[in-house]
Structure 1
Amino acid sequence: MFIRALQLALREKSSRIIGPGSPSFVVNAFDLFGSELAESAELAEKVAVITGGASGIGKATAAEFIRNGAKVIIADVQDDLDHAVAAELGPGTACYTRCDVTDEAQVAADVDLAVSRYGQLDVMFNNVGIIAGSRQPGAEPGFEIRGAMNKHWGVPGPLSLRHCRQRPPLAAVDLADFDRVMAANARGVLAGLKHAARAMVPRRRSSIICTASIAGMVGTAAADPEYSASKAAVLGLVRAVAAELGRSGVRVNAISPGAVRTPLLMKSLAAWFPEKSAEEIQQMATEDSPMVAGTALEAEDIARAVYLASDEAKYVNGHNIVVDGGLSVTMRAK
Protein backbone atom coordinates (compact mmCIF):
# COMPACT_ATOMS: atom_id res chain seq x y z
CA MET A 1 0.00 0.00 0.00
CA PHE A 2 2.93 2.33 0.76
CA ILE A 3 4.39 1.69 -2.70
CA ARG A 4 1.01 2.41 -4.30
CA ALA A 5 0.85 5.70 -2.42
CA LEU A 6 4.30 6.66 -3.66
CA GLN A 7 3.26 5.82 -7.21
CA LEU A 8 0.32 8.18 -6.79
CA ALA A 9 2.69 10.83 -5.47
CA LEU A 10 4.95 10.52 -8.49
CA ARG A 11 2.05 11.60 -10.69
CA GLU A 12 1.64 14.83 -8.74
CA LYS A 13 3.46 17.74 -10.37
CA SER A 14 3.81 19.53 -7.05
CA SER A 15 5.57 16.63 -5.33
CA ARG A 16 9.19 15.64 -5.42
CA ILE A 17 10.61 12.36 -4.20
CA ILE A 18 14.33 11.86 -3.75
CA GLY A 19 15.57 8.29 -3.85
CA PRO A 20 16.18 6.47 -0.57
CA GLY A 21 19.92 6.52 -1.29
CA SER A 22 20.00 10.28 -0.88
CA PRO A 23 21.02 11.59 2.55
CA SER A 24 18.05 13.94 2.42
CA PHE A 25 15.38 11.48 1.38
CA VAL A 26 12.25 13.57 1.08
CA VAL A 27 8.63 12.66 0.66
CA ASN A 28 6.68 15.86 0.19
CA ALA A 29 3.58 13.84 -0.68
CA PHE A 30 3.00 12.77 2.92
CA ASP A 31 -0.63 13.86 2.83
CA LEU A 32 -1.30 11.61 -0.16
CA PHE A 33 -0.47 8.37 1.55
CA GLY A 34 -1.49 9.74 4.96
CA SER A 35 -5.05 10.34 3.79
CA GLU A 36 -4.99 7.03 1.95
CA LEU A 37 -4.08 5.10 5.07
CA ALA A 38 -5.34 7.13 8.02
CA GLU A 39 -8.71 5.41 8.14
CA SER A 40 -7.17 1.93 8.00
CA ALA A 41 -4.37 2.66 10.50
CA GLU A 42 -4.81 0.54 13.61
CA LEU A 43 -3.32 1.61 16.92
CA ALA A 44 -5.69 -0.47 19.02
CA GLU A 45 -3.97 -1.97 22.05
CA LYS A 46 -0.89 0.18 21.42
CA VAL A 47 0.72 2.42 24.04
CA ALA A 48 2.47 5.67 23.11
CA VAL A 49 4.63 8.20 24.94
CA ILE A 50 4.61 11.71 23.44
CA THR A 51 7.13 14.23 24.72
CA GLY A 52 5.94 17.81 24.40
CA GLY A 53 2.42 16.43 24.20
CA ALA A 54 0.50 19.25 25.86
CA SER A 55 0.09 21.59 22.89
CA GLY A 56 0.66 22.10 19.19
CA ILE A 57 1.91 19.08 17.27
CA GLY A 58 2.13 16.94 20.40
CA LYS A 59 -1.46 17.51 21.45
CA ALA A 60 -2.81 17.03 17.92
CA THR A 61 -0.88 13.78 17.60
CA ALA A 62 -2.08 12.55 20.98
CA ALA A 63 -5.67 13.15 19.90
CA GLU A 64 -5.07 11.36 16.59
CA PHE A 65 -3.44 8.39 18.31
CA ILE A 66 -6.35 8.10 20.72
CA ARG A 67 -8.87 8.30 17.88
CA ASN A 68 -7.07 5.32 16.38
CA GLY A 69 -7.30 3.29 19.57
CA ALA A 70 -4.02 3.97 21.39
CA LYS A 71 -3.40 4.84 25.00
CA VAL A 72 -1.17 7.89 25.37
CA ILE A 73 1.19 9.18 28.04
CA ILE A 74 1.73 12.93 27.68
CA ALA A 75 5.23 13.88 28.87
CA ASP A 76 5.76 17.61 29.27
CA VAL A 77 6.67 20.34 31.75
CA GLN A 78 3.51 22.50 31.57
CA ASP A 79 1.83 20.98 34.61
CA ASP A 80 -1.53 22.80 34.65
CA LEU A 81 -1.97 22.63 30.88
CA ASP A 82 -0.85 19.01 30.74
CA HIS A 83 -3.35 17.86 33.34
CA ALA A 84 -6.11 19.75 31.50
CA VAL A 85 -5.15 18.22 28.15
CA ALA A 86 -5.06 14.71 29.61
CA ALA A 87 -8.53 15.24 31.07
CA GLU A 88 -9.78 16.65 27.76
CA LEU A 89 -8.45 13.70 25.77
CA GLY A 90 -9.97 11.21 28.19
CA PRO A 91 -8.78 9.92 31.58
CA GLY A 92 -9.10 6.34 30.41
CA THR A 93 -6.91 6.86 27.36
CA ALA A 94 -4.52 9.68 28.29
CA CYS A 95 -2.44 10.51 31.34
CA TYR A 96 0.21 13.09 32.14
CA THR A 97 3.69 12.74 33.59
CA ARG A 98 6.11 15.59 34.13
CA CYS A 99 9.22 15.19 32.00
CA ASP A 100 12.15 17.49 31.29
CA VAL A 101 13.84 15.73 28.38
CA THR A 102 17.20 17.28 29.25
CA ASP A 103 17.19 14.98 32.30
CA GLU A 104 17.82 11.42 31.08
CA ALA A 105 16.43 9.96 34.30
CA GLN A 106 13.05 11.59 33.65
CA VAL A 107 12.94 10.21 30.11
CA ALA A 108 13.77 6.75 31.44
CA ALA A 109 11.01 7.13 34.02
CA ASP A 110 8.46 7.89 31.27
CA VAL A 111 9.33 4.65 29.53
CA ASP A 112 9.16 2.75 32.81
CA LEU A 113 5.75 4.29 33.52
CA ALA A 114 4.38 3.01 30.21
CA VAL A 115 5.66 -0.48 30.93
CA SER A 116 4.49 -0.57 34.55
CA ARG A 117 1.03 0.86 33.83
CA TYR A 118 0.25 -0.84 30.52
CA GLY A 119 2.81 -3.62 30.26
CA GLN A 120 4.40 -2.31 27.06
CA LEU A 121 5.57 0.62 24.97
CA ASP A 122 4.75 0.51 21.26
CA VAL A 123 5.29 4.09 20.09
CA MET A 124 7.72 6.78 21.23
CA PHE A 125 7.19 10.23 19.74
CA ASN A 126 10.21 12.44 20.52
CA ASN A 127 8.53 15.75 19.86
CA VAL A 128 10.00 18.34 22.24
CA GLY A 129 11.60 21.32 20.53
CA ILE A 130 12.76 24.72 21.77
CA ILE A 131 14.39 27.77 20.21
CA ALA A 132 17.29 29.86 21.47
CA GLY A 133 16.22 31.98 24.43
CA SER A 134 17.80 35.15 23.08
CA ARG A 135 15.58 34.93 19.98
CA GLN A 136 12.30 34.52 21.82
CA PRO A 137 9.90 37.50 21.64
CA GLY A 138 10.76 40.17 24.19
CA ALA A 139 14.04 38.57 25.27
CA GLU A 140 16.22 40.92 23.25
CA PRO A 141 14.71 44.44 23.28
CA GLY A 142 17.57 45.90 21.26
CA PHE A 143 16.79 43.67 18.31
CA GLU A 144 13.30 44.42 17.09
CA ILE A 145 12.31 42.21 14.18
CA ARG A 146 9.88 44.60 12.56
CA GLY A 147 9.79 47.07 9.69
CA ALA A 148 13.08 48.84 10.47
CA MET A 149 14.96 45.56 10.82
CA ASN A 150 13.42 44.23 7.64
CA LYS A 151 14.85 47.28 5.89
CA HIS A 152 18.22 46.65 7.57
CA TRP A 153 18.25 43.06 6.34
CA GLY A 154 17.24 44.09 2.82
CA VAL A 155 13.86 42.38 2.90
CA PRO A 156 11.60 43.90 0.22
CA GLY A 157 7.85 44.32 0.27
CA PRO A 158 5.34 43.67 3.04
CA LEU A 159 6.12 41.63 6.13
CA SER A 160 5.45 37.93 5.94
CA LEU A 161 6.12 34.82 8.00
CA ARG A 162 9.28 34.17 6.01
CA HIS A 163 10.71 37.54 7.03
CA CYS A 164 9.18 38.09 10.44
CA ARG A 165 12.08 36.59 12.31
CA GLN A 166 15.34 37.47 10.58
CA ARG A 167 18.05 36.25 12.93
CA PRO A 168 20.82 38.36 14.45
CA PRO A 169 24.35 38.09 13.04
CA LEU A 170 26.47 35.05 13.87
CA ALA A 171 28.56 37.20 16.21
CA ALA A 172 25.50 37.61 18.43
CA VAL A 173 25.04 33.87 19.01
CA ASP A 174 25.22 32.91 22.67
CA LEU A 175 26.88 29.51 23.05
CA ALA A 176 24.96 28.98 26.27
CA ASP A 177 21.83 29.10 24.10
CA PHE A 178 23.41 26.54 21.79
CA ASP A 179 24.04 24.17 24.70
CA ARG A 180 20.49 24.61 26.00
CA VAL A 181 18.85 24.03 22.61
CA MET A 182 21.03 21.02 21.83
CA ALA A 183 20.28 19.55 25.28
CA ALA A 184 16.54 19.60 24.62
CA ASN A 185 16.31 19.07 20.87
CA ALA A 186 19.17 16.62 20.25
CA ARG A 187 20.27 15.11 23.56
CA GLY A 188 16.64 14.73 24.60
CA VAL A 189 15.89 12.82 21.40
CA LEU A 190 18.88 10.55 21.96
CA ALA A 191 17.66 9.82 25.49
CA GLY A 192 14.23 8.99 24.07
CA LEU A 193 15.75 6.67 21.47
CA LYS A 194 17.95 4.95 24.04
CA HIS A 195 15.29 4.25 26.64
CA ALA A 196 12.43 3.53 24.25
CA ALA A 197 14.61 0.92 22.54
CA ARG A 198 15.27 -0.70 25.90
CA ALA A 199 11.56 -1.41 26.27
CA MET A 200 10.77 -2.01 22.60
CA VAL A 201 13.44 -4.43 21.41
CA PRO A 202 11.98 -7.44 23.28
CA ARG A 203 8.59 -6.82 21.59
CA ARG A 204 10.16 -6.74 18.10
CA ARG A 205 7.45 -4.55 16.56
CA SER A 206 7.51 -0.92 17.64
CA SER A 207 7.97 2.58 16.25
CA ILE A 208 9.98 5.62 17.27
CA ILE A 209 9.14 8.94 15.60
CA CYS A 210 11.26 12.07 16.00
CA THR A 211 10.21 15.61 15.14
CA ALA A 212 12.93 17.30 13.09
CA SER A 213 12.42 20.36 10.86
CA ILE A 214 13.13 21.66 7.40
CA ALA A 215 15.49 24.03 9.23
CA GLY A 216 17.76 21.03 9.66
CA MET A 217 17.70 20.35 5.91
CA VAL A 218 17.96 23.71 4.15
CA GLY A 219 19.49 27.05 5.05
CA THR A 220 17.16 29.88 5.98
CA ALA A 221 17.76 33.32 7.43
CA ALA A 222 14.76 32.86 9.71
CA ALA A 223 16.15 29.89 11.66
CA ASP A 224 18.65 30.23 14.47
CA PRO A 225 21.89 28.30 13.91
CA GLU A 226 21.30 26.66 17.28
CA TYR A 227 17.89 25.37 16.22
CA SER A 228 19.02 24.36 12.72
CA ALA A 229 21.98 22.42 14.11
CA SER A 230 19.80 20.64 16.66
CA LYS A 231 17.30 19.52 14.04
CA ALA A 232 20.06 18.38 11.68
CA ALA A 233 21.31 16.33 14.62
CA VAL A 234 17.88 14.71 14.96
CA LEU A 235 18.04 13.61 11.32
CA GLY A 236 21.53 12.23 11.89
CA LEU A 237 20.40 10.30 14.96
CA VAL A 238 17.50 8.75 13.07
CA ARG A 239 19.79 7.53 10.30
CA ALA A 240 22.43 6.37 12.76
CA VAL A 241 20.17 4.07 14.78
CA ALA A 242 17.55 2.98 12.25
CA ALA A 243 19.52 0.04 10.87
CA GLU A 244 20.56 -1.25 14.29
CA LEU A 245 17.07 -1.08 15.78
CA GLY A 246 15.40 -2.20 12.56
CA ARG A 247 17.02 -5.61 12.98
CA SER A 248 15.13 -5.89 16.25
CA GLY A 249 11.80 -4.84 14.76
CA VAL A 250 11.96 -1.24 15.99
CA ARG A 251 11.46 1.33 13.22
CA VAL A 252 12.88 4.84 13.57
CA ASN A 253 11.70 7.71 11.37
CA ALA A 254 11.66 11.50 11.40
CA ILE A 255 9.05 14.06 10.45
CA SER A 256 10.26 17.48 9.25
CA PRO A 257 7.54 20.12 9.33
CA GLY A 258 7.67 23.54 7.80
CA ALA A 259 6.33 26.47 9.85
CA VAL A 260 3.33 24.98 11.63
CA ARG A 261 0.49 27.25 12.74
CA THR A 262 0.63 26.27 16.39
CA PRO A 263 -0.35 28.39 19.42
CA LEU A 264 3.37 29.05 19.97
CA LEU A 265 3.81 30.44 16.45
CA MET A 266 0.72 32.65 16.66
CA LYS A 267 1.73 33.93 20.10
CA SER A 268 5.23 34.69 18.83
CA LEU A 269 3.92 36.59 15.81
CA ALA A 270 1.59 38.61 18.02
CA ALA A 271 4.52 39.51 20.29
CA TRP A 272 6.76 40.47 17.39
CA PHE A 273 4.04 42.56 15.72
CA PRO A 274 1.83 44.02 18.48
CA GLU A 275 0.38 46.57 16.07
CA LYS A 276 -1.07 43.83 13.86
CA SER A 277 -4.65 42.63 14.22
CA ALA A 278 -5.52 38.98 14.78
CA GLU A 279 -6.64 38.75 11.15
CA GLU A 280 -3.32 40.18 9.92
CA ILE A 281 -1.40 37.72 12.09
CA GLN A 282 -3.40 34.87 10.57
CA GLN A 283 -2.58 36.18 7.09
CA MET A 284 1.13 36.33 7.90
CA ALA A 285 1.02 32.66 8.86
CA THR A 286 -0.43 31.66 5.49
CA GLU A 287 0.86 34.03 2.79
CA ASP A 288 4.21 32.28 2.33
CA SER A 289 2.62 28.88 1.83
CA PRO A 290 3.58 27.22 -1.47
CA MET A 291 0.17 25.55 -1.46
CA VAL A 292 -3.24 27.00 -2.34
CA ALA A 293 -3.57 30.60 -1.20
CA GLY A 294 -5.03 30.93 2.27
CA THR A 295 -3.96 27.47 3.45
CA ALA A 296 -1.51 26.93 6.28
CA LEU A 297 0.34 24.02 7.78
CA GLU A 298 -1.58 22.92 10.86
CA ALA A 299 -0.56 20.70 13.76
CA GLU A 300 -3.13 18.16 12.58
CA ASP A 301 -1.20 17.75 9.32
CA ILE A 302 1.81 16.56 11.30
CA ALA A 303 -0.42 14.33 13.42
CA ARG A 304 -0.60 11.99 10.45
CA ALA A 305 2.35 10.43 12.25
CA VAL A 306 -0.36 7.92 13.13
CA TYR A 307 0.68 6.18 9.89
CA LEU A 308 4.31 5.80 10.96
CA ALA A 309 3.16 4.50 14.34
CA SER A 310 0.95 1.80 12.87
CA ASP A 311 1.72 -1.63 11.50
CA GLU A 312 0.74 -0.27 8.07
CA ALA A 313 4.27 1.21 8.01
CA LYS A 314 6.05 -1.95 9.11
CA TYR A 315 8.68 -1.59 6.34
CA VAL A 316 9.22 2.17 6.59
CA ASN A 317 12.45 2.73 8.50
CA GLY A 318 15.19 5.35 8.57
CA HIS A 319 13.33 7.97 6.56
CA ASN A 320 12.55 11.64 6.92
CA ILE A 321 8.98 12.54 6.01
CA VAL A 322 8.80 16.20 5.01
CA VAL A 323 5.46 17.93 5.61
CA ASP A 324 5.88 21.44 4.27
CA GLY A 325 3.75 21.71 1.14
CA GLY A 326 6.89 21.71 -1.00
CA LEU A 327 8.47 24.73 0.72
CA SER A 328 11.89 23.08 1.11
CA VAL A 329 11.90 22.15 -2.58
CA THR A 330 11.05 25.75 -3.46
CA MET A 331 13.85 27.03 -1.25
CA ARG A 332 16.37 24.72 -2.92
CA ALA A 333 15.30 25.93 -6.35
CA LYS A 334 16.00 29.58 -5.56
Structure 2
Amino acid sequence: MAHTWIARDFGGPDVFDFVEEEVRPPGPGEVTIEILAAGMNPADYKHVAMGGDPADLPIHVGYEVAGFLTAVGPETEIASGGGAVGDEVLAFRIRGGYSDAVTVPAKDVFAKPESLDFPQAANLLLAGTTAAEMLEVTGAQPGETIVVHGASGAVGVSVLQQARLRGIRTIGTAGEHNAGVVTLFGGEHVVYGDGLEERVRELAAGPVAAALDCVGTDEAIDVSLALVADRSRIVSIANFERAESDGYRVIMGRFPASAVFRDRIRAHLIELAGRGDLVVPVARTFPLAEAREAMAFLADQHPGGKIALLP
Protein backbone atom coordinates (compact mmCIF):
# COMPACT_ATOMS: atom_id res chain seq x y z
CA MET A 1 0.00 0.00 0.00
CA ALA A 2 1.07 3.58 -0.69
CA HIS A 3 0.06 6.81 0.98
CA THR A 4 -0.95 9.24 -1.74
CA TRP A 5 -2.70 12.57 -2.24
CA ILE A 6 -5.71 12.76 -4.56
CA ALA A 7 -8.08 15.57 -5.49
CA ARG A 8 -11.58 14.22 -5.04
CA ASP A 9 -13.10 17.29 -6.70
CA PHE A 10 -12.06 20.54 -8.41
CA GLY A 11 -11.26 23.46 -6.13
CA GLY A 12 -8.85 24.61 -3.44
CA PRO A 13 -6.66 22.71 -0.97
CA ASP A 14 -9.68 21.36 0.94
CA VAL A 15 -10.52 19.01 -1.97
CA PHE A 16 -7.26 17.07 -1.48
CA ASP A 17 -7.39 13.83 0.52
CA PHE A 18 -4.52 11.72 1.87
CA VAL A 19 -5.45 8.10 1.21
CA GLU A 20 -3.99 4.62 0.98
CA GLU A 21 -3.96 2.82 -2.36
CA GLU A 22 -2.48 -0.35 -3.77
CA VAL A 23 0.61 0.14 -5.91
CA ARG A 24 0.07 -1.98 -8.98
CA PRO A 25 3.00 -4.07 -10.20
CA PRO A 26 4.76 -2.78 -13.31
CA GLY A 27 3.92 -4.25 -16.67
CA PRO A 28 6.08 -4.14 -19.80
CA GLY A 29 7.49 -0.62 -20.24
CA GLU A 30 6.83 0.33 -16.61
CA VAL A 31 8.76 0.60 -13.34
CA THR A 32 7.82 1.12 -9.70
CA ILE A 33 9.60 3.85 -7.74
CA GLU A 34 9.82 4.20 -3.98
CA ILE A 35 9.66 7.97 -3.69
CA LEU A 36 12.12 9.77 -1.43
CA ALA A 37 11.16 13.28 -2.59
CA ALA A 38 8.29 14.69 -4.63
CA GLY A 39 8.76 18.01 -6.41
CA MET A 40 6.14 20.70 -5.96
CA ASN A 41 4.99 23.16 -8.61
CA PRO A 42 2.12 25.67 -8.87
CA ALA A 43 0.79 23.58 -11.77
CA ASP A 44 0.02 20.79 -9.30
CA TYR A 45 -2.81 22.65 -7.59
CA LYS A 46 -3.70 25.07 -10.40
CA HIS A 47 -4.69 22.10 -12.54
CA VAL A 48 -7.22 21.14 -9.87
CA ALA A 49 -8.36 24.71 -9.14
CA MET A 50 -9.13 25.40 -12.82
CA GLY A 51 -11.81 22.71 -12.97
CA GLY A 52 -12.36 20.22 -15.74
CA ASP A 53 -14.14 17.03 -16.70
CA PRO A 54 -15.64 15.26 -13.64
CA ALA A 55 -14.84 11.98 -15.39
CA ASP A 56 -11.16 12.68 -14.65
CA LEU A 57 -11.75 12.58 -10.89
CA PRO A 58 -10.15 11.65 -8.61
CA ILE A 59 -6.92 13.28 -9.80
CA HIS A 60 -3.57 11.95 -8.67
CA VAL A 61 -1.31 15.01 -8.32
CA GLY A 62 2.44 15.51 -8.69
CA TYR A 63 4.45 15.56 -11.92
CA GLU A 64 8.02 14.87 -10.77
CA VAL A 65 9.74 12.68 -8.18
CA ALA A 66 13.05 11.14 -7.16
CA GLY A 67 13.68 7.86 -5.40
CA PHE A 68 14.82 4.35 -6.23
CA LEU A 69 13.47 1.47 -8.28
CA THR A 70 11.68 -1.31 -6.43
CA ALA A 71 10.39 -3.21 -9.46
CA VAL A 72 11.04 -3.25 -13.20
CA GLY A 73 8.56 -4.57 -15.76
CA PRO A 74 9.44 -7.36 -18.18
CA GLU A 75 11.91 -6.43 -20.94
CA THR A 76 11.97 -2.83 -19.73
CA GLU A 77 14.67 -0.15 -19.69
CA ILE A 78 14.39 3.35 -18.28
CA ALA A 79 14.86 6.36 -20.55
CA SER A 80 18.57 6.73 -19.77
CA GLY A 81 19.21 3.02 -20.35
CA GLY A 82 19.32 0.01 -18.06
CA GLY A 83 17.48 0.17 -14.78
CA ALA A 84 17.63 -2.34 -11.94
CA VAL A 85 16.01 -2.66 -8.54
CA GLY A 86 17.80 -0.33 -6.14
CA ASP A 87 18.90 2.20 -8.77
CA GLU A 88 18.43 5.86 -7.82
CA VAL A 89 16.22 7.63 -10.36
CA LEU A 90 14.19 10.73 -11.08
CA ALA A 91 11.00 10.90 -13.10
CA PHE A 92 9.14 13.71 -14.83
CA ARG A 93 5.89 14.07 -16.75
CA ILE A 94 4.25 11.44 -14.58
CA ARG A 95 1.05 11.51 -12.54
CA GLY A 96 0.68 10.74 -8.86
CA GLY A 97 3.97 12.03 -7.51
CA TYR A 98 2.52 13.12 -4.16
CA SER A 99 2.94 9.59 -2.86
CA ASP A 100 5.46 7.27 -1.26
CA ALA A 101 5.44 4.85 -4.20
CA VAL A 102 4.21 4.94 -7.79
CA THR A 103 4.25 2.81 -10.93
CA VAL A 104 5.01 4.88 -14.04
CA PRO A 105 6.11 4.56 -17.68
CA ALA A 106 9.82 3.76 -17.88
CA LYS A 107 10.21 6.28 -20.73
CA ASP A 108 9.76 9.06 -18.16
CA VAL A 109 12.41 7.75 -15.73
CA PHE A 110 16.12 8.64 -15.74
CA ALA A 111 19.17 7.75 -13.66
CA LYS A 112 19.65 10.34 -10.90
CA PRO A 113 23.01 12.14 -10.99
CA GLU A 114 25.01 11.44 -7.84
CA SER A 115 25.68 15.16 -7.45
CA LEU A 116 21.98 15.91 -6.82
CA ASP A 117 20.23 15.05 -3.59
CA PHE A 118 16.67 13.73 -3.81
CA PRO A 119 14.81 17.05 -3.22
CA GLN A 120 16.96 18.73 -5.90
CA ALA A 121 16.47 15.88 -8.38
CA ALA A 122 12.72 15.88 -7.76
CA ASN A 123 12.53 19.59 -8.65
CA LEU A 124 14.82 19.78 -11.67
CA LEU A 125 12.71 19.11 -14.71
CA LEU A 126 9.38 20.92 -14.65
CA ALA A 127 11.03 24.29 -14.09
CA GLY A 128 14.03 23.34 -16.24
CA THR A 129 12.07 22.19 -19.27
CA THR A 130 9.76 25.21 -19.04
CA ALA A 131 12.76 27.54 -18.99
CA ALA A 132 14.38 25.75 -21.91
CA GLU A 133 11.20 26.03 -23.96
CA MET A 134 10.90 29.75 -23.24
CA LEU A 135 14.40 30.30 -24.61
CA GLU A 136 13.64 28.03 -27.57
CA VAL A 137 10.38 29.66 -28.71
CA THR A 138 11.76 33.20 -28.42
CA GLY A 139 14.85 32.24 -30.43
CA ALA A 140 17.27 33.77 -27.93
CA GLN A 141 20.78 33.77 -29.38
CA PRO A 142 24.30 34.22 -28.00
CA GLY A 143 25.18 37.89 -27.63
CA GLU A 144 21.56 39.04 -27.40
CA THR A 145 20.03 40.79 -24.40
CA ILE A 146 16.73 39.47 -23.06
CA VAL A 147 14.51 40.48 -20.15
CA VAL A 148 13.17 37.86 -17.73
CA HIS A 149 10.21 38.87 -15.58
CA GLY A 150 10.03 37.06 -12.25
CA ALA A 151 13.68 36.08 -12.54
CA SER A 152 14.03 35.00 -8.90
CA GLY A 153 11.36 32.30 -9.13
CA ALA A 154 12.03 28.65 -9.97
CA VAL A 155 11.56 28.98 -13.74
CA GLY A 156 13.32 32.36 -13.81
CA VAL A 157 16.37 30.99 -12.00
CA SER A 158 16.60 28.15 -14.51
CA VAL A 159 16.26 30.61 -17.42
CA LEU A 160 19.10 32.71 -16.01
CA GLN A 161 21.42 29.70 -15.77
CA GLN A 162 20.56 28.23 -19.16
CA ALA A 163 20.88 31.62 -20.84
CA ARG A 164 24.29 32.18 -19.25
CA LEU A 165 25.48 28.80 -20.57
CA ARG A 166 24.46 29.92 -24.08
CA GLY A 167 26.14 33.32 -23.87
CA ILE A 168 22.86 35.24 -23.66
CA ARG A 169 22.73 38.38 -21.51
CA THR A 170 19.75 38.49 -19.12
CA ILE A 171 18.15 41.41 -17.33
CA GLY A 172 16.00 39.96 -14.56
CA THR A 173 13.12 41.69 -12.79
CA ALA A 174 12.54 40.85 -9.14
CA GLY A 175 11.89 42.53 -5.81
CA GLU A 176 14.76 44.33 -4.12
CA HIS A 177 15.09 41.53 -1.55
CA ASN A 178 15.73 39.02 -4.36
CA ALA A 179 18.42 41.04 -6.16
CA GLY A 180 21.09 38.67 -4.87
CA VAL A 181 19.31 35.64 -6.32
CA VAL A 182 19.22 37.22 -9.78
CA THR A 183 22.90 38.14 -9.76
CA LEU A 184 23.97 34.82 -8.23
CA PHE A 185 22.53 32.92 -11.18
CA GLY A 186 23.88 35.18 -13.90
CA GLY A 187 21.33 37.94 -14.40
CA GLU A 188 21.46 41.73 -14.04
CA HIS A 189 18.82 42.80 -11.57
CA VAL A 190 16.20 45.51 -11.97
CA VAL A 191 13.45 46.06 -9.42
CA TYR A 192 9.90 45.89 -10.74
CA GLY A 193 7.37 48.68 -10.18
CA ASP A 194 6.80 52.17 -11.59
CA GLY A 195 9.44 53.11 -14.17
CA LEU A 196 10.41 49.51 -14.97
CA GLU A 197 10.55 50.09 -18.73
CA GLU A 198 12.94 53.02 -18.34
CA ARG A 199 15.18 51.10 -15.93
CA VAL A 200 15.43 48.15 -18.31
CA ARG A 201 16.19 50.40 -21.29
CA GLU A 202 18.91 52.21 -19.35
CA LEU A 203 20.55 48.99 -18.20
CA ALA A 204 20.26 47.30 -21.61
CA ALA A 205 21.89 50.26 -23.39
CA GLY A 206 20.73 48.75 -26.66
CA PRO A 207 18.00 46.53 -28.10
CA VAL A 208 16.14 44.01 -25.98
CA ALA A 209 15.71 41.03 -28.27
CA ALA A 210 13.15 39.00 -26.34
CA ALA A 211 11.01 39.04 -23.22
CA LEU A 212 10.22 36.00 -21.06
CA ASP A 213 7.38 36.43 -18.57
CA CYS A 214 7.40 34.05 -15.60
CA VAL A 215 5.18 36.13 -13.32
CA GLY A 216 2.06 37.06 -15.32
CA THR A 217 1.46 40.64 -14.18
CA ASP A 218 0.06 43.29 -16.52
CA GLU A 219 3.20 45.31 -15.81
CA ALA A 220 5.38 42.47 -17.13
CA ILE A 221 3.31 42.21 -20.31
CA ASP A 222 3.08 45.96 -20.88
CA VAL A 223 6.83 46.44 -20.47
CA SER A 224 7.56 43.45 -22.71
CA LEU A 225 5.36 44.86 -25.47
CA ALA A 226 7.07 48.24 -25.17
CA LEU A 227 10.58 46.80 -25.28
CA VAL A 228 10.31 44.05 -27.91
CA ALA A 229 8.98 44.96 -31.34
CA ASP A 230 8.60 41.35 -32.59
CA ARG A 231 5.76 39.92 -30.53
CA SER A 232 6.66 36.37 -31.52
CA ARG A 233 9.72 36.90 -29.30
CA ILE A 234 7.60 37.58 -26.22
CA VAL A 235 6.43 34.52 -24.29
CA SER A 236 4.46 34.08 -21.08
CA ILE A 237 3.81 31.06 -18.90
CA ALA A 238 1.50 32.95 -16.56
CA ASN A 239 -0.66 35.50 -18.43
CA PHE A 240 -2.86 33.69 -20.93
CA GLU A 241 -5.72 36.19 -20.87
CA ARG A 242 -4.04 38.88 -22.99
CA ALA A 243 -2.19 36.66 -25.43
CA GLU A 244 -4.81 36.66 -28.18
CA SER A 245 -5.44 40.41 -28.11
CA ASP A 246 -1.79 41.43 -27.69
CA GLY A 247 -0.23 38.86 -29.98
CA TYR A 248 2.47 37.36 -27.76
CA ARG A 249 3.15 33.65 -27.28
CA VAL A 250 2.08 31.42 -24.40
CA ILE A 251 3.30 27.93 -23.58
CA MET A 252 2.06 25.22 -21.24
CA GLY A 253 3.14 21.64 -20.61
CA ARG A 254 -0.22 20.34 -21.78
CA PHE A 255 0.18 21.87 -25.25
CA PRO A 256 1.23 19.13 -27.71
CA ALA A 257 4.24 21.07 -29.05
CA SER A 258 5.36 21.88 -25.51
CA ALA A 259 5.08 18.25 -24.46
CA VAL A 260 7.22 17.07 -27.36
CA PHE A 261 9.93 19.66 -26.68
CA ARG A 262 9.99 19.10 -22.94
CA ASP A 263 10.28 15.33 -23.34
CA ARG A 264 13.16 15.77 -25.77
CA ILE A 265 15.16 18.19 -23.59
CA ARG A 266 14.99 16.21 -20.32
CA ALA A 267 18.18 14.19 -20.77
CA HIS A 268 20.19 17.29 -21.67
CA LEU A 269 19.06 19.15 -18.55
CA ILE A 270 19.88 16.16 -16.34
CA GLU A 271 23.37 16.12 -17.87
CA LEU A 272 23.81 19.85 -17.12
CA ALA A 273 22.66 19.39 -13.54
CA GLY A 274 24.87 16.36 -13.08
CA ARG A 275 28.00 18.33 -13.87
CA GLY A 276 26.96 21.32 -11.76
CA ASP A 277 26.01 23.69 -14.58
CA LEU A 278 22.32 23.81 -13.60
CA VAL A 279 21.59 24.32 -9.91
CA VAL A 280 18.24 23.64 -8.23
CA PRO A 281 17.81 25.83 -5.13
CA VAL A 282 15.57 24.11 -2.57
CA ALA A 283 13.98 26.43 -0.01
CA ARG A 284 12.17 23.98 2.22
CA THR A 285 10.90 20.44 2.60
CA PHE A 286 7.64 19.22 4.14
CA PRO A 287 6.51 15.77 5.24
CA LEU A 288 4.29 14.16 2.63
CA ALA A 289 1.37 14.23 5.04
CA GLU A 290 1.60 18.05 5.16
CA ALA A 291 1.04 18.61 1.45
CA ARG A 292 -1.81 21.07 2.07
CA GLU A 293 0.45 23.26 4.21
CA ALA A 294 3.18 23.01 1.58
CA MET A 295 0.72 24.14 -1.13
CA ALA A 296 -0.16 27.21 0.94
CA PHE A 297 3.54 28.02 1.38
CA LEU A 298 4.13 27.61 -2.36
CA ALA A 299 1.09 29.73 -3.25
CA ASP A 300 2.59 32.63 -1.30
CA GLN A 301 4.68 33.18 -4.49
CA HIS A 302 7.89 33.99 -2.56
CA PRO A 303 9.19 30.65 -1.28
CA GLY A 304 12.82 31.52 -2.10
CA GLY A 305 13.45 28.26 -3.94
CA LYS A 306 11.85 24.92 -4.70
CA ILE A 307 9.82 22.85 -2.25
CA ALA A 308 9.83 19.08 -1.85
CA LEU A 309 7.53 16.64 -0.08
CA LEU A 310 9.35 13.89 1.79
CA PRO A 311 7.47 10.61 2.38
TM-score (ref. length: structure 2): 0.26
More strand by share: 2
TM-score (ref. length: structure 1): 0.25
More helix by share: 1
Q: Does 1 or 2 have the higher relative contact order (CA < 8 Å, sep 6+)? A: 1
